[in-house]
Amino acid sequence: MRLFLKTLFSKRILVAVVACIVLAFMTGLRFEDPGFLKAMRELTFDYYQRLKPRDYEPAPVRIVDIDEASIAEIGQWPWPRTKLAEMVQILTDLGAAAIVFDMVFSEPDRTSPAQLRDTLEKTAPDDLLATLSSLPDHDTQFAAVLAEAPAVIGFAVASHSTGTLPRRTAGMSYAGENPADFLVPFPAAVASLDILQKNAAGIGSISISRDDQEGVVRRVPLIVSDGQSLFPSLTTEALRIAQGAKGLIVRATGASNEAAAGDPAVTAVKIGAYETPTTGSGELWLYYTPDHPDRYLSAKKVFASADRADLASNVEGQIVLVGASAAGLRDIRATSLGELVPGVSIHAQALEQMLFEQFLSRPDWANGLEVIATFAVGAIVILALPALGSLGTAILAAVIVSGLVGGSLYLFWYEGLLIDPLYPAVTSFLVFAASSSLLFFLTEREKKFVRQAFSQYLSPDLVTQLEQTPDQLTLGGEIRPMTILFMDIRGFTPISEQLTPKELVSFLNTLLSPLSDAIQAEGGTIDKYIGDSIMAFWNAPLSIPDHAEKACRAGLTMLKVVDKLNDRDAFGFKARNLKAQTVRIGIGLNSGEVCVGNMGSARRFNYSVIGDAVNIASRIESSCKAVGAELLVSEDTRNEAPDFAYLEAGEIPLKGKSEPVKLYALLGDTALKNSKEFKELQGVHSRLMLAIKNSQFQDAHSALETAQLLAPSLMDFYGRFEDILRDLEAAHGESSAAQ
């Protein structure tokens, strides 16, 4: 049963299953679209606006700002309604197209004579009360001025019942489904005084979107509903009154040219000559420009008669919004650009967008597209991982994510569309991370299994000697001159990723068995198999005087063995058309005195070697790739075995060594060393090394080019010398400049 399950849930299947589970969860989460995902998405769109905010252009929209200077000049807010009546009269006389109050006048003016009379009724003399009763009421005066002006006042939607609804001054019609049937209704409203509503040309909602109550203002409603009727917003009424339009038309799904699939939704609001696209709930998505001082006109200047002529150019034909920026009046809002601005400026920005037809929109197909993109990107990662490996898949995922972000930015920049690339990108990362982490864990487990299995094997020579002299099974050791070999498979992880555990063991057996035979044929002792590596040594437990020569011959034989295995496709990589089709190894040799013997505990020990020479051999093997050679030896090994074909690789810094170690690339046996071709190459190489040592760069380049022509198979080896020369020339140039 265990074998069946192990076979069924192979590494690739298990990784794919886990990746599919992650992808299914992320896709389902996006389909449900909980609130925190919407918040993340809107933050992304905020950053888009910060990258490319809307350019400010002068528009026929002005804000009469009740700022700190105005309060200091005129007095504490709220001002008497007679003062507001005076403002309305001035703005009307100057030719304002619409005068829009971003405020609700829900209570009588407390400075009105009638209000004072009620307050002083029990304490003031009768003649004073009679005088107050005879004076005109401030709200009545304000209403009279409103009746002669293109004025708009506000109402606010409320969460608790007030028993009142605002008057409707605009004609409302709709095309398609009735928005009152599907818009979220407001339960109640706080409206202005009835006398003011009767005399105002327009009445609109000043409330922001329900979704923006706790933070950044990203949308403003153009219409609201109580569940039975539709009401315009303050912005909508401002634009209507400025044009002299009688009403507005709301377009919804089901109208001509509007798809009716899915949930009903508002698609646009037509106000006079202007048609504005909206969200499904009838809101305008705000596209901000940085707050600009040209929008504002201090209320103080409106009452300054000396500035009246200059004031006319800023008021005539303009939509004039009246609002407050004074800090104590608590009408400060946050925008997508990260600015804190007066609430009235948000209405101004909405009007600018409608007038210039500069809109942002999140189309109704955006959610579906993002769900599909989430699934598609994750599926691509899952399919690519077994074919391309971890690195290739990571690069592919990065390219896809870059395309998503780039496409989203393009649509925002040039089309004003809001499409979220973040969630599909995060999903691809999570799918990749889960797959790669599990793949790494399983690969490490396989390597551990291989390491444990092969660590039990000993050299046949060692076993024979131990059988003949069992008294050697004691702890301790002796110092001997020895030659140590380290071998490692290049690119083992990509190879292991494309094999099952059983295939991986078969691959290692196919490779390590003939390599071990090559070592043992030359009298070497295999110390251990470390995963995909071999550690071996010569001159123990049997004495081998020419240990360095035998180690060199073993190393050359091992390279030939690997070439033969690759040529006949012994691993089956080419036949199966796997990504990794050839196997390469790196070998490092070093000679020196080490301690050799049985090491461990009285119950469990291992015949092994320790010492600095062992560490150096390991470091030499690790340097093969950087040097561009498959077989590297130390200078000590070269001196011990001089009858081989070597090329000096230079002094190489090794990890853990304070001084660089001179290394040599071992290319062949005595026959190659004595060949005419190698002697010619060796002479050119010696000239190259001498020129580098003496900083004779021209001679060095000449020698390097000749060497590359003589030995084209050593391009990797000589490619490193190109880098060395470039670095030396750069350092020499800097030194000359400093002098």
Q: What is the pLDDT of residues 382-423, one digit of tens each?
A: 888 888 888 888 898 899 999 999 999 999 999 999 999 999
- Of the spans 305-309, 366-370, 436-440, 653-657, which averages the highest pLDDT? 366-370
pLDDT-derived band of residue 482, with 50, 70 and 90 as boundaries?
very high
Q: Do 183 and 240 lie in a common domain?
A: yes
Q: State the residue range of the domain holding 726.
A: 675-739
| pLDDT beyond 60 at 468 | no
| pLDDT beyond 70 at 604 | no
Is residue 445 one of the residues assigned to a domain?
no
Measured distance CA(620)–CA(589) in Å, rounded: 7
Instruction: Write the DSSP symbol of residue 373.
Output: H
Quote the pLDDT of residue 739: 54
Last residue of a domain, one of 307, 330, 356: 356
Burial class (CB in 10 A: 0-12, 13-18, 19+), 478: exposed
Measured distance CA(101)–CA(241) in Å, rounded: 13
pLDDT-derived band of residue 560, with 50, 70 and 90 as boundaries?
very high
Measured distance CA(467)–CA(461) in Å, rounded: 10
Write out pLDDT tens, residues 486-510: 999 988 888 888 888 888 899 999 9
| pLDDT beyond 80 at 150 | yes
Write out pLDDT tens, residues 204-232: 999 888 887 668 899 999 999 988 899 99
By the 8 A CB rule, do 523 and 553 touch?
Answer: no
Exposure string of 716-738, with b = 16+ CB inside 10 Å and e = fewer, is ebbebbeeebeeeeeeeeeeeee
Report, as an integer, the average pLDDT of 14-30: 88
Residue found by looking up tokens 């990749």 in the block: 432
Q: Do 428 and 312 lie in a common domain?
A: no
Q: Do 38 and 91 lie in a common domain?
A: no
| pLDDT beyond 90 at 234 | yes
Q: Do 504 and 600 lie in a common domain?
A: yes
In the structure encoding, which two tokens stand for residue 9, read together?
């849930």
Is residue 446 one of the residues assigned to a domain?
no
Quote the pLDDT of residue 455: 43
Is residue 631 one of the residues assigned to a domain?
yes
Is residue 739 one of the residues assigned to a domain?
yes
Side-chain half-sphere CA neighbours of 179 within 13 A: 30
pLDDT-derived band of residue 375, with 50, 70 and 90 as boundaries?
very high
* Long-range contacts, stretch 396-405, CB < 8 angstroms, 24+ apart: 397/428, 397/429, 397/432, 400/428, 401/377, 401/425, 401/428, 401/429, 404/373, 404/377
Q: Cα–Cα distances in Å, from 257 out to 253, 267, 415, 432, 457?
A: 9, 11, 20, 43, 79
Q: Do 269 and 124 lie in a common domain?
A: yes
Could you give the 3-state DSSP secondary structure of residue 583?
coil
Report, as an integer, the average pLDDT of 45-69: 92
Report, as an integer, the average pLDDT of 279-288: 92
Is residue 639 one of the residues assigned to a domain?
yes
Q: Do 276 and 414 lie in a common domain?
A: no
Identity of the amino acid at 537:
F
Last residue of a domain, one of 332, 356, 380: 356
Could you give the 3-state DSSP secondary structure of residue 571?
coil
Quote the pLDDT of residue 552: 97
Q: What is the CA radius of gyration of the chain?
A: 43
Last residue of a domain, one of 645, 669, 693: 669
Q: Do 254 and 367 lie in a common domain?
A: no
Percent of the chain past pLDDT 70, that is, above it, reads: 87
Quote the pLDDT of residue 491: 85
Angle (CA) 523-524-527 rounded to 5° is 150
| pLDDT beyond 80 at 476 | no
With DSSP H G I counted as helix, E B as strand and the rest as coil, what are the percentages for the chain, rounded to 5? 50, 20, 30
Q: Do 181 and 322 lie in a common domain?
A: yes
Instruction: Write the DSSP symbol of residue 79.
Output: P
| pLDDT beyond 50 at 550 | yes
Q: Do 294 and 407 lie in a common domain?
A: no
Measured distance CA(386)–CA(10) in Å, rounded: 13
- Of the spans 180-189, 668-677, 726-735, which averages the highest pLDDT? 668-677
Is residue 450 one of the residues assigned to a domain?
no
Report, as an integer, the average pLDDT of 234-257: 89
Q: Do 298 and 389 lie in a common domain?
A: no
Write out pLDDT tens, residues 106-144: 888 887 776 666 666 656 565 655 555 556 788 889 999
Is residue 137 one of the residues assigned to a domain?
yes
Q: Do 607 and 637 lie in a common domain?
A: yes
Quote the pLDDT of residue 531: 84
Q: Do 680 and 727 lie in a common domain?
A: yes
- Nearest partner of 114 among 96, 127, 131, 126, judged by Cα: 131
- Using DSSP bridges, classify how beta strands 585-600 and 605-610 pair: parallel, antiparallel or unpaired: antiparallel
Q: Give Cα 288 to chain centroid, integer Å.
A: 25
Handedness of CA 506, 512, 518, 522 (dihedral sign): negative
pLDDT-derived band of residue 304, with 50, 70 and 90 as boundaries?
confident
Q: Calculate the average pLDDT of the chain.
A: 85
By the 8 A CB rule, do 225 and 157 touch?
Answer: no
Quote the pLDDT of residue 306: 60
Is residue 447 one of the residues assigned to a domain?
no
Domains: count for the chain: 4
By the 8 A CB rule, do 587 and 631 touch?
Answer: yes
Beta strands in 468-604 (DSSP E): 476-489, 525-530, 533-538, 585-600
Quote the pLDDT of residue 128: 55
| pLDDT beyond 80 at 484 | yes
Query: Other C-beta atoms within 10 Å of 618: how many?
Result: 19
